[in-house]
Chain A
Amino acid sequence: MTSATVPSKQSNIERVRFWQRSAVRRNLTAYLFILPFVALFAIFNIGPFFWALWLSLLRGDLVSPVKPFVGFQNYASLTTDNITLQVFRNSLQYTVSVVPITVITALALAFLIGNRLVRFKDFFRAVVFFPLLASAAATAQIWSYILAPRYGILTYLLGLVGIPEIYWLSNPSVALYGILLVEWWRGIGFHIILFLAAMLGVPEELHEAARIDGASAWQVATRVTIPLMRPVILFSVVMGTIWAFQLFDTVFVLTNGGPVHSTATIVWYIYNHAFRYGQVGMAAAMGVVLLLIIMPISFVQMRVLGDSG
């Protein structure tokens, strides 16, 4: 903009030339500023994306120099292979369990902390943040001891109220819920803090008005507060779903997919087929399927972000 207001002594032609030169220069410096980012981004994000699509059409292991082209055979195999079907089932079952459980409990806990009678809200916000600090690996270590059979403290505590021993991580029909329990602890703080921020943003006058009209606390919550929090709840559901479909770390450390594939997830499958079993094509095809699952959910996420910002 500044370059347009050149001294009037210069002729028109000179002025145009000056402007052009400066525009080119300005472009050039802008490109220099984005160069490091764009170069790394192209090499480690854009490039790999297209390479992954290509790999999903090939067969071979990670290091084989020549990988024969097999078309859509890998995708076809995904639909027939027993383990693949189990993996899809696990990921789906996990997602449809963990998301509602986490979001509903987080909402309830946000109402608890956000209650008018509670002082030290910041303290409780920090308390629920703490589990978010540990790595999934550390969390898995912590919980493998808590969930241990016989001498695990959870087994003991449940025993006090008469619940018999549960083999959280070694019983195939329970293990997925053992993982869910750990991930619930690890992730709930995110949702609570999000909800709390939205809840405290609702103007107090609205609550007051509803109360004067004779609404009970439950009615104020369900008719006033929650409807006003809808965008945030949607964001939280979307993020929770995206994470749930990409569950890996906790499974890798706690059960490594077992027992008998009962906790094998989509990303666990990708990791193992690429880096353990030498089936890069299958792994890449599974990755593409994961992308196709995530993409529509992400569109919602972008829409929500677009609306809020």
Chain B
Amino acid sequence: MTQDRLRRRWRKTTSILPQAALIYALLTALAIVMLGPYLYIFASSFKETYTLISIPPRLIPEQFVWDNYTYILGELPFSTWFINTILVAALVTLGTVLIDALAAYAFAKKQFWGRDLLFGLMLATIMIPGALLLIPAFLITNQLGLLNSYGGLIIPSLANVLGVFLLRQFMQTLPVELEHAARIDGCSDFGVFWRIIMPLSTPALATLSIVVFTAQWNNLVWPLVVLNNKNLYTLPLGLALLRSEFQVNYGITSAAAFLSVIPLIVVFIFLQRYFLEGLTVGAMKG
């Protein structure tokens, strides 16, 4: 009996083995295609100019040099761009989350005249392509005297419809009894929002923060339009500039591209869950 069962299991294993081997071979190929480009530019960022254009190409630098990094950090305002990007992305994230949460709370929990109409209108604007709004948004920012400033980068990006949508969905699921209890204890409207709703909404707030932060970190078009002072550049804009100024120095562009991605990779490794949850929300931003 047992022998028979063992034989059956053995037959099953051996019949699965080639299939599993094929699947894992394909998965390895997939991993190489997805991660290979990152590893390749990481290696290339330590190559000296001669190795960069050697034929056949070398995967590993002949000798490790720090020249590319010393150049972008010393000769180019790369560290300024880096700090600008952190600053702008952090402030936009903070502002968006707060402004969106305030609005989402009212849309989720309060009755007021014009609520559903306004919400429908907001959702309808999702389908407007960003490129159409680009020109008038630029003109308005210009009118407000915000061109070439952090304000011009930050303020126009703060009202995020999808953030309101996401937070409203979440806040609607919070039990209303908690609010009542807080109100009986003498909490004001803002007190209920700040002390009850916000702490309970942490998962949704975290997801939105990740989505907004990533989008800002990688945003190219708006900084491109608003800025022409190189000292205010953010990383994507700086990288785009490098491309036009250093066409052939791939060591410099590799080092810069790698440094610009590293912070998000680190955040991703620790907060993967929120990245995955935010995927569909972030997607719809167009």
Contacts and interface: CB of A to CB of B under 8 A. Distances in A.
A299 B113 CA distance: 26
Given A117-B23, A145-B250, A294-B127, A137 B99 contact: no
Given A37-B99, A124-B27, A135-B260, A46 B279 contact: no
Contacts of A189: 34
B100 A37 contact: yes
Contacts of A135: 217-220, 235-236, 239, 260-261
Interface string A241-279: 011011011001110000000000011001100110000
A52 B155 contact: no
A291 interface: yes
A38 interface: yes
A242 B286 contact: yes
Interface string A117-155: 110000011111111111111111111111010111100
Contacts of A128: 30, 34
A27 B129 contact: no
A46 B218 CA distance: 24
B189 A29 contact: yes
Nearest to A256: B244
Question: Does more than half of chain B's interface fall in helix, strand or loop, or is it mixed?
Answer: helix
Nearest to B57: A153
Contact of B27 (A46, A113, A294): A113
Interface size class of B (residues with CB under 8 A): 35 or more
B140 A49 contact: no
Contacts of A287: 129, 131-132, 134-135
Contact of A38 (B31, B40, B103, B129): B103
Contacts of B7: none
Interface string B145-165: 000000000011011010010
B240 A137 contact: yes
A48 B159 CA distance: 13
A117 B43 CA distance: 33
B264 interface: yes
Interface string B64-108: 000000000000000000000000000000000001101101110
B159 A44 contact: yes
A280 to B, nearest CB: 6
A34 interface: yes
Interface string A24-61: 00110111011011101101111111011001000000
A185 B135 CA distance: 30
Interface size class of A (residues with CB under 8 A): 35 or more
B71 to A, nearest CB: 15
| Most chain A C-beta atoms within 10 Å of own C-beta, residue among B107, B133, B237, B242 | B133
B6 interface: no
Contact of B113 (A27, A115, A126, A148): A27
A2 interface: yes
A288 interface: yes
Contacts of B34: 127-128, 130-131, 185, 189
| Most chain A C-beta atoms within 10 Å of own C-beta, residue among B16, B27, B169 | B27
A40 B254 contact: no
B44 interface: yes
B46 interface: no
Contacts of B137: 44, 48
A248 B121 CA distance: 27
Interface string B196-224: 00000000000000000010011111001
Given A44-B137, A44-B140, A117 B16 contact: yes
A307 to B, nearest CB: 14
A138 B260 contact: yes
A112 B26 contact: yes
A51 B129 contact: no
A229 interface: no
Nearest to B126: A298
B276 interface: yes
A295 interface: yes
A2 B183 contact: yes
A193 interface: yes
Given A44-B137, A55-B136, A30 B218 contact: no
Contact of A246 (B130, B235, B276): B130
B156 A44 contact: yes
Contacts of A31: 106, 112
Given A49-B133, A52-B135, A283-B135, 4 more contacts: A45-B161, A134-B264, A141-B256, A254-B243
Which 6 residue pairs of A and B lie closest in terms of their CB atoms, listed nearest first? A298-B127, A135-B218, A287-B132, A48-B136, A37-B103, A51-B136
